[in-house]
């Protein structure tokens, strides 16, 4: 190794004993770190998007089979019976949300949803959504009486209990469960389900209207997450609550799907 020249030695010496610099105290560093991890509306919405992306409901065997049209009729019939826990019981969900909504402007919006569910006069040519669902069942050869006599799987019963309770608990939690977790899962896939129902089992446009209507109707509700959080999630704790509710709702919906799939396989 070559000997260092004098200026090089000086530079090295300088490097060994650097001039004191102003350092941040640990307290300042911690404070900055906490501030940067603060939950904001943007971060909450991004975390919700990440939960849906990670969950990939469309890749679950039941939804995959419906979206791609690969399931035999007995399995689709059982799906129809179990999934009825949502549209045939909707007044327990949207209805409660309307009652507990504290804001007149938002209450009017929820009222529209309740009105549409109960009458179909906004999107569904005057057919209530439960009626659309009965017609879907009839297209598969299930009578109304038969559909109403469904023995629900425990996942469906758990879903109804959870969702009814959430929708009647308080507006922030109810609306988060409904619009940020539940309704965000459907749009974009229902038309494909309708197409295969027509092609594989001879259902008519009227039979599959339940699915085509919801590809449009639900899309309108699920795009309002930002407004919702800005108006009702006033604190960081509120945003944490929203994330917890969305997580729990996705989990319960997965339970419904898994248990429905179990009944569908038994029916095959
Ligand atoms: Fe509906």
- The alpha carbon of 226 and the centre of ligand 1 are apart by a number of angstroms equal to 22
Sign of CA dihedral 47, 258, 168, 107: positive
Residues around ion ligand 1, judged by CB within 5 A, are 129
Domain count, the chain: 1
- Whether 26 is in a domain gets the answer no
- The alpha carbon of 51 and the centre of ligand 1 are apart by a number of angstroms equal to 23
DSSP string, 108-127: HHHHHHHHHHHH-TTTSTT-
Mean pLDDT of 12-36: 50
Report residue 65's pLDDT band, with 50, 70 and 90 as the boundaries: very high
- The alpha carbon of 138 and the centre of ligand 1 are apart by a number of angstroms equal to 18
d(CA 154, CA 157): 5
Mean pLDDT of 227-244: 94
Mean pLDDT of 67-87: 97
d(CA 131, CA 121): 12
pLDDT in tens, 238-260: 999 999 999 999 999 999 999 99
Q: Among 131-135, 172-176, 182-186, 219-223, name the one with the lowest average pLDDT.
A: 219-223
Average pLDDT, the chain: 87
What does each C-alpha distance from 105 to 20, 109, 111, 258 come to in angstroms?
60, 7, 10, 37
pLDDT in tens, 100-132: 999 999 999 999 989 999 999 998 999 999 999
- The alpha carbon of 47 and the centre of ligand 1 are apart by a number of angstroms equal to 26
Q: At residue 24, does pLDDT exceed 90?
A: no
Instruction: Please name the residues in contact with 110: beta carbons below 8 A apart, sequence gap of 6 or more.
Output: 94, 97, 98, 101
- The alpha carbon of 214 and the centre of ligand 1 are apart by a number of angstroms equal to 6
- The alpha carbon of 215 and the centre of ligand 1 are apart by a number of angstroms equal to 10
Instruction: Please name the residues in contact with 44: beta carbons below 8 A apart, sequence gap of 6 or more.
Output: 229, 233, 239, 242, 243
- The alpha carbon of 92 and the centre of ligand 1 are apart by a number of angstroms equal to 12
- The alpha carbon of 119 and the centre of ligand 1 are apart by a number of angstroms equal to 10
Report residue 26's pLDDT band, with 50, 70 and 90 as the boundaries: low
- Whether 147 is in a domain gets the answer yes
- The alpha carbon of 201 and the centre of ligand 1 are apart by a number of angstroms equal to 23
Report the CATH number that the domain containing residue 184 is assigned in CATH. 1.20.910.10
- The alpha carbon of 247 and the centre of ligand 1 are apart by a number of angstroms equal to 22
- Whether 25 is in a domain gets the answer no
- The alpha carbon of 264 and the centre of ligand 1 are apart by a number of angstroms equal to 23
- The alpha carbon of 129 and the centre of ligand 1 are apart by a number of angstroms equal to 5
- The alpha carbon of 117 and the centre of ligand 1 are apart by a number of angstroms equal to 5
Please give the backbone phi and psi of residue 17, each rounded to the nearest 5 degrees, phi first.
-125, 80
- The alpha carbon of 213 and the centre of ligand 1 are apart by a number of angstroms equal to 8
Mean pLDDT of 57-81: 96
Q: At residue 73, does pLDDT exceed 90?
A: yes
- Whether 35 is in a domain gets the answer no
- The alpha carbon of 21 and the centre of ligand 1 are apart by a number of angstroms equal to 64
- The alpha carbon of 185 and the centre of ligand 1 are apart by a number of angstroms equal to 13
- Whether 32 is in a domain gets the answer no
Range of the structural domain that residue 196 is part of: 48-267
Mean pLDDT of 95-100: 94
- Whether 41 is in a domain gets the answer no
- The alpha carbon of 189 and the centre of ligand 1 are apart by a number of angstroms equal to 15
pLDDT in tens, 39-59: 999 999 999 999 999 999 989
Report residue 29's pLDDT band, with 50, 70 and 90 as the boundaries: low
- Whether 21 is in a domain gets the answer no
């Amino acid at each position: 190794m070559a000997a260092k020249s004098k200026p090089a030695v000086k530079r090295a010496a300088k490097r060994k004993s650097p001039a004191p610099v102003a350092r941040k105290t640990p307290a300042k560093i911690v404070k900055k770190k906490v501030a940067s991890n603060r939950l904001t509306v943007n971060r909450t919405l991004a975390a919700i998007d990440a939960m849906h992306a990670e969950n990939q409901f469309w890749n679950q065997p039941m939804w995959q089979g419906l979206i791609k049209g690969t399931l035999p009729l007995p399995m689709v019939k059982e799906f129809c019976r179990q999934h009825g826990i949502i549209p045939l019981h909707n007044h327990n969900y949207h209805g409660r949300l309307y009652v507990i909504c504290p804001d007149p402007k938002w209450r009017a919006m929820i009222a529209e949803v309740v009105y549409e569910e109960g009458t179909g006069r906004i999107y569904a040519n005057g057919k209530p959504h439960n009626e659309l669902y009965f017609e879907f069942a009839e297209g598969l050869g299930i009578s109304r009486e038969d559909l109403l006599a469904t023995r629900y799987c425990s996942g469906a019963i758990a879903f109804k209990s959870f969702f009814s309770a959430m929708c009647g608990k308080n507006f922030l939690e109810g609306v988060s469960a409904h619009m940020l977790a539940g309704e965000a899962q459907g749009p974009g896939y229902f038309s494909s389900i309708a197409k295969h129902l027509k092609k594989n089992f001879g259902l008519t446009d009227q039979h599959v209207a339940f699915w085509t209507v919801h590809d449009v109707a639900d899309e309108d509700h699920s795009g309002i997450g930002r407004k919702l959080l800005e108006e009702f999630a006033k604190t960081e704790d509120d945003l944490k609550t929203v994330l917890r509710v969305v997580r729990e709702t996705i989990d319960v919906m997965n339970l419904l799907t898994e248990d429905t799939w179990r009944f569908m396989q038994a029916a095959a």
